[in-house]
A = this chain, B = another copy of it.
Amino acid sequence: MPQLFLDKVKCLRNIENMASKASTNNLSFRPHFKTHQSVEIGNWFREFGVSKITVSSFRMAAIFAKAGWDDILVAFPFNPVETKNLTRLSEKSKISILIDNTETLPFLEQIENEVHFYIDIDTGYGRTGVISENVEQIDSILKGSRNNRQLIFSGFYCHAGHSYKAANQYERDTIHQKAISDLKNLKDQFHEYSPIALYGDTPNCRIQNNFSGIDEITPGNFVFYDLFQYSIGTCKMEEIAVAVACPVAGKYPEDKRIVIHGGAVHFSKESVTVEGKPVYGQLVEQTKNGWIPASGVQYISEISQEHGILKNCGEFFNTTRIGDLICFLPVHSCLTVNLMNGAYHIYDPQSCGFVPFPPG
């Protein structure tokens, strides 16, 4: 079976770097836990002073609340189906939700405990949120929530996810500038509420240096990074902290093709484009201390449910045997980790090798 490996040294360094970036810029740090979805890895954040987190569903919120996190933002537009879950979770923890409409407000009159909310702001992504310029809509939400004493307005939230689709860094810079400037304007316009501004996808939090007006950042993917983040310049290859080990299942000399047990149910079908062709994973070489990029670059170029295919493998074809376990950096670590159901193997320097994690 393919297995997920985690390099704890890289992972801790990634957390430390982002915590330090936040602190240097006077930003509060509320990391998104959707990437790792692991109680154990979540605990690693505590030693970097992290005490509040972001998740993307009530299911995740329940898992981390049970693990002792008591300040959780569910960064997904609240929908009435979750009212009972919200009531249950807010009994013991400080739960914040996102609101971008007035339709949801009547349902929130049923909540029995204090709940904080942010207004989700769309600065150009076009997924969720009130368009930044739509002050009228923000006013309606604030008016509509005024009589609900349990529902406390905390500020504005923006996920500028269109930075992932940007063609180049110039476009990403423009997206970032608009987002922080829109949030700053909203804070000014609604200053009587003393709102704070939450912001931050991994690319912008890593690359940008001007966070004027922003109070708190919520990046997630940085804990592991992946080939996609590498492809848009967010991280270095050697910062990617997860790899998938796959057994070699077949070798076919006609096109020096290697087939691995490792497919869409392990890597997902997300791809990056390299020289005009889709790539689903990149080979790394295992070392005593983890892994390094393989000297001859090899990509998973096709994927089906359980199979991955590497073509024209040259010398690597000759040195690889059926049954070998070979490792790949994934394209989208969030989806890969989700598919592997959190069954990590972690590099343990004491045993000089990877051991199951959590142990046993």
A residues sitting closer than 8 Å to B (CB atoms) are 1, 34, 56-59, 76-82, 100-101, 103-104, 107, 122, 126-128, 131, 161, 247-252, 254-255, 257, 259, 261, 264-265, 268-270, 302, 304-307, 309, 321-323, 325, 334-335, 338-339, 341
B residues less than 8 Å from A322 (CB atoms): 77, 79-80, 101, 103-104
A264 to B104, alpha carbons, bound, how many Å?
25
Instruction: Give the residue name and chain of the B residue nearest to A37 (CB).
Output: B265
Using CB atoms, name the residue of chain B closest to A339.
Answer: B339
**Whole-angstrom distance between the Cβ of A245 and the nearest chain B Cβ:** 10
Decide: B76 and A306 in contact? CB cutoff 8 A: yes
B128→A76 contact, CB < 8 A: no
Bound-complex Cα distance A69 to B1 (A): 21
* Given A103-B321, A254-B131, A306:B80 Cβ within 8 A: no
Contact B304 A127 (CB under 8 A): yes
Given A34-B306, A126-B257, list of 14 further CB < 8 A pairs? Answer: A1-B59, A57-B306, A77-B259, A77-B322, A79-B247, A79-B261, A126-B255, A127-B259, A127-B309, A128-B249, A128-B250, A128-B252, A161-B304, A269-B335
Q: How many copies of this kind of chain does the complex include?
A: 2
Q: Is the CB of A338 within 8 A of B77?
A: no
B128 touches A81 (CB 8 A): no
Measured between alpha carbons, how far is A79 from B307 in the docked complex, in Å? 13
Measured CA separation A307–B334 after assembly (Å): 14
Measured in the bound complex, the distance between the Cα atoms of B325 and A264 in whole Å is 28
Q: Which residues of B contact A338 (CB under 8 A)?
A: 265, 305, 339
Complex contact B259–A305 (CB within 8 A): no
Chain B residues with Cβ below 8 Å from A131 are: 254
A273 to nearest B CB, angstroms?
Answer: 14
> Within the assembled complex, what's the spacing in Å between the Cα atoms of A323 and B323?
49
Closest to A81 in B: B247
Q: A249-B77, A251-B103 are in contact. Are A305 and B325 (CB under 8 A)?
A: no
| Chain B contacts for A1, CB-based, 8 A | 57-59
- Of B100, B254, B335, the residue contacting A264 (CB under 8 A) is B335
Q: Report B-chain residues with C-beta under 8 Å of the C-beta of A80.
A: 322-323
Residue from A59, A103, A248, A249 whose CB has the most chain B CB atoms within 10 Å = A249
Residues on B with C-beta less than 8 A from A268 are 264, 268-269
